Amino acid sequence: MSIADVPWLPLALTLIYLAAAACIYRILMTYRVAQGAIAWILALIGLPYIAVPMFLLFGRNRFGGYLRAKRTGDAALTELLNHFEQQTTAISRRADEHFPDELQVLCKLGRQPFTTGNRCDLLKNGEATFEALFDAMENARHYILLEFYIVRSDKVGQRIKSILKRKLAQGVQVWFLYDDIGSVWLPRKYLRELAAAGAKVASFGDGNFRRMRLQVNFRNHRKLLVCDGDVGFVGGINLGDEYLGTAMGEEPWRDSHCRITGPAVTGLQLAWLEDWNWASEDFPTLNWTPSQPTPGDQEVLILPTGPADTYETCTLFFLNCINNARTRIWIASPYFVPDVQIMNALQLAALRGVDVRIIIPEKSDSRLIRLAAYSYLVQACRAGIGIYRYQPGFMHQKVVLVDDRYAAIGTANLDNRSMRLNFEITAISTAVEFVNGIESLLEQDLTTSRLMTERDYRDRSVAFRLTCRTIRLLGPLL
């Protein structure tokens, strides 16, 4: 049978190649990483009937819908940002000599100021975090803003729902934002109960068309809570029992979070508002005046990052930290699949004498990413980079320590998804007590971690090494 015998086949092939050409045009006009663009173009030319649907699933590298929603509320958001930068607690002024350029640039990346007058308390595990979250919600008087990548209907999730329903009955307003992909197993009944109790509930998908588009990129990976505009939380912990070691095979999850009071909470609230505006086309009235007097004297910056940014903000954040480290750069990340520029920066830091340590988990919820990390060992060890495997359970925290000068805690990993595809958020503090707390936290984790060597990779079978190198190529999709 020839093509001529199937009358619709020539038309179908023509449409497929036209779609491939449209995809290639989009790639050429928007690509950020040349290697990825070349790979997509070759696939679209050689296997268009496979590559076209794959590109529709994974191929976009900018979140156009979010940008459009952002512009819709841009005047109001800009006014709020300007008001935030003009507060007396804002210190992002070049005239402040104690405030170096490397911190100034982070303010520009996040479009937010460093503020003083804050208190940032480190929450070292799931038990401490949930206790603080529950307490803050119980004490909320006006409103509660939640935004989490994963929400489960387990003991923790049910406790959250119970508190929210009780606060709603007391007249407290609740806005509940979750991610479609991360919370895919969250029962619709859970959400209906919250909505029936009076909560405003929205999912972070592709606008009103999220059910029609099979788009799995651009996940909202943020985990934050704000109560009354006065207290906020950010870090790596989602809403689930696994962070208490009571789920997922009883393996303990090692994670951390932080509780913030003071003007920096406004930064968390602004990030939440942009996301909520995108997901619901709603712009709620919130408290934008931090409580006085301020609760402390710590300098804190909230740095939201994501694919709607003008720059690759998350990548630039990590590069800024690594390139400006003078004595040490310690990073804890559960997912370690860095791109070339991040790996080169780590190597250069180690070669100039900086103590570079990367803590990753021995046990992971992603076998592919665990294997991919082995492929970096030779590069890392030869440059003097220490890669440590955390042993007791799954380490999920995302923490950065730069010298003794500042530290960061948030949601961003050292992988392509955090750098270019996910919406992330990080809290950065220069406070001595916070930096010392992160240092103590990481030192304790290092005592239960194993330093890897080249032999962990070189002494394995050819098949193992080939698998690791192959998976590494898939880093942008993991």
- Per-residue pLDDT tens for 371-389? 999 999 999 999 999 999 9
Predicted pLDDT of residue 247: 53
Give the active site residue among 161, 179, 206, 223. 223
Tens-place pLDDT, residues 212-227: 343 456 789 999 999 9
Give the active site residue among 74, 121, 355, 403. 403
Tens-place pLDDT, residues 305-321: 998 888 999 999 999 99
pLDDT at 94 over 80: no
pLDDT at 271 over 80: yes
Average of per-residue pLDDT values in the chain = 87
Angle between helices 64-72 and 265-280 (to 10 degrees): 110
Question: What is the average pLDDT across 422-428?
Answer: 96
Tens-place pLDDT, residues 353-362: 999 999 999 9
CA-CA distances (angstroms) from residue 233 to 28, 225, 269, 279, 323? 40, 5, 10, 21, 28
Question: What is the average pLDDT across 238-248?
Answer: 82
Predicted pLDDT of residue 73: 55
For the chain, give the percent of residues with pLDDT over 90. 60
User: Among this protein's residues, is 221 annotated catalytic?
Assistant: yes
From 29-38, 63-72, 279-288, 340-349, the region with the lowest mean pLDDT: 63-72
Contact between 84 and 290 (Cβ < 8 Å): no
pLDDT at 394 over 80: yes
Tokens of 361: 């988990």
Angle between helices 9-30 and 48-58 (to 10 degrees): 40
Give the active site residue among 230, 339, 396, 415. 396
Predicted pLDDT of residue 98: 61
pLDDT at 228 over 90: yes
Q: Provide the pLDDT confidence category of residue 209 given band limits of 50, 70 and 90.
A: very low
pLDDT at 250 over 90: no
Predicted pLDDT of residue 93: 53
From 16-30, 344-358, 437-451, the region with the lowest mean pLDDT: 16-30
Angle between helices 462-473 and 367-374 (to 10 degrees): 110
Predicted pLDDT of residue 214: 39
User: Among this protein's residues, is 398 annotated catalytic?
Assistant: yes
Scored b (16 or more CB within 10 A) or e, 320-351 reads bbbebbeebbbbbbbbbbbbebbbebbbebbe
Distance CA 321, CA 189 (A): 43
Predicted pLDDT of residue 72: 53
From 7-21, 26-40, 106-120, 432-446, the region with the lowest mean pLDDT: 26-40
From 179-188, 288-297, 383-392, 423-432, the region with the lowest mean pLDDT: 288-297
Direct distance between the N- and C-terminal alpha carbons of the chain, in angstroms, rounded to an integer: 41
- Rounded to the nearest 5°, which phi and psi values hold at 449? -120, 155
Predicted pLDDT of residue 208: 43
Tens-place pLDDT, residues 155-195: 999 999 999 999 999 999 999 999 988 999 999 999 999 99
pTM attached to this predicted model: 0.87
Predicted pLDDT of residue 40: 76
Provide the residue type at 449 as one letter: S
Contact between 384 and 478 (Cβ < 8 Å): no
Cis peptide before 7 (omega within 30 of 0): no
Predicted pLDDT of residue 65: 57
Predicted pLDDT of residue 213: 40
Tokens of 111: 């479009």
Q: Give the position of tokens 């809403």.
A: 239
What phi-psi label fits residue 436: left (phi over 0), alpha (psi between -120 and 50 degrees) or beta?
alpha
Distance CA 159, CA 164 (A): 9
pLDDT at 152 over 60: yes
Predicted pLDDT of residue 350: 98
Give the active site residue among 206, 398, 415, 445. 398
HEC string of the chain equals: CCHHHCCCHHHHHHHHHHHHHHHHHHHHHHCCCHHHHHHHHHHHHHCHHHHHHHHHHHCCCCCHHHHHHHHHCHHHHHHHHHHHHCCCCECCCCCCCCCCHHHHHHHHHHCCCCEEEEEEEEECCHHHHHHHHHHHHHCCCCEEEEEECCECCCHHHHHHHHHHHHHHHCCCEEEEEEECCCCCCCCHHHHHHHHHCCCEEEEECCHHHCCCCCCCCCCECCEEEEECCCEEEEECCCECHHHHCCCCCCCCEECCEEEEECCCHHHHHHHHHHHHHHHHCCCCCCCCCCCCCCCCCEEEEEEEECCCCCCCHHHHHHHHHHHHCCCEEEEECCCEECCHHHHHHHHHHHHCCCEEEEEEECCCCCHHHHHHHHCCHHHHHHHCCEEEEECCCEECCCEEEECCCEEEEECCCEEHHHHHHCEEEEEEECCHHHHHHHHHHHHHHHHCEEECCCHHHHCCCHHHHHHHHHHHHCHHHC
CA-CA distances (angstroms) from residue 114 to 22, 59, 434? 43, 35, 15
Predicted pLDDT of residue 478: 63
Predicted pLDDT of residue 362: 93
Contact between 283 and 273 (Cβ < 8 Å): yes
Give the active site residue among 179, 180, 206, 228. 228
pLDDT at 453 over 70: yes
Tokens of 473: 């190529």
Tokens of 469: 């190198």
Of 139, 130, 191, 131, the C-alpha closest to 167 is 139
For the chain, give the percent of residues with pLDDT over 70. 86
pLDDT at 426 over 80: yes
pLDDT at 3 over 70: no
Provide the residue type at 157 as one letter: G
